[in-house]
Amino acid sequence: MKIQQMKIHEIEIHEIQIQIIRKPVKNLRLSVHPPDGRVRVSAPLFMSYKKITGFVESRISWIRQHQERIRNRARETELVYAHGQTHFFQGQPVLLNVEKTTGSHSLIVQGDEFCHQSENGNPADPPNSASLQVRVRNPQNPEQVQRALEKFFRMHLTEQVQKLIARYEPILGVRVKDLGIKKMRTRWGTCNYRTGKIWISLEMAKKSPRCLEYLVVHEMVHLLEPSHNARFKALLDRYFPGWREVQKELNGGDPNGSLEWVRKVD
């Protein structure tokens, strides 16, 4: 989208800060976003200010309700990095088993049939796990436990995403030039089609392998089509049939997912 085709400004209605984005769209779109319930309105370029604010004012109760829902869910799902706490790995709940070590921090994935170890930078293969055994120098220090866990998640994701990229590059006829794993607050992943770099959210380590595969294909398809238009969806239909159901699974599993209200413009 060209810069001159989009106008952004902030307003305040009933003590709620609202970002208004005017761009070449047909419908008014109101959304509430995590983690703090920020409000965004997408509106047609030449729609009047009065019509936009009237639409927002008519949905004030809806906005407040869903801001509170997002904030409550964020509080409810705040993770505790301590022995015996439940976390998620590859879409499955796992218990943290935190132990003291005098050596370097490490993490072992344990399951009914598997025991895959990850030490000194060597990621474990994906198991059907029941627990994550975390070895740190101070088991009472949640920051040490968190760092060890996130290091493992980063290594695991890097390995799995690289395998998926290698699998789909010849299928899609594209080349991913760079890959990054990082924490993201509002997205599962991004793609810069100009540089060929894909970023994956660290949170994807907690999602099912099928969700991860869908996300990687989604971002790789952006190398063919940068926007989420009809061509993009047709490409996903071709290369990842059933993607809509997997997308629902992925977004439905986000405890802080954004909520949206769309109004068609007459």
pLDDT tens, 162-217? Answer: 999 999 999 999 999 999 999 987 689 999 989 999 999 999 999 999 999 999 99
CATH superfamily of 157-252: Metalloproteases ("zincins"), catalytic domain (3.30.2010.10)
Per-residue pLDDT at 78? 64
Domain segments of the chain: what residues? 3-77+258-264, 86-151, 157-252
pLDDT tens, 8-57? Answer: 888 889 888 899 999 888 888 888 877 678 888 989 988 998 999 999 99
Question: Please, which residues bridge with residue 92 across strands?
Answer: 89
Crossing angle of helices 142-172 and 209-221, in 10° steps, is 50
Helix (H) or strand (E) segment spanning residue 144:
helix 142-172
What is d(CA 228, CA 135) in angstroms, rounded to the nearest whole number? 43
What's the N-to-C CA distance of the chain in angstroms?
Answer: 24
CA 252 to chain centre: 11
Query: Strand 92-100 relative to strand 86-89: parallel, antiparallel, unpaired?
Result: antiparallel
Confidence of residue 82 (pLDDT cuts 50, 70, 90): confident
Please say whether the beta carbons of 107 and 149 come within 8 A: yes
pTM of the model: 0.64
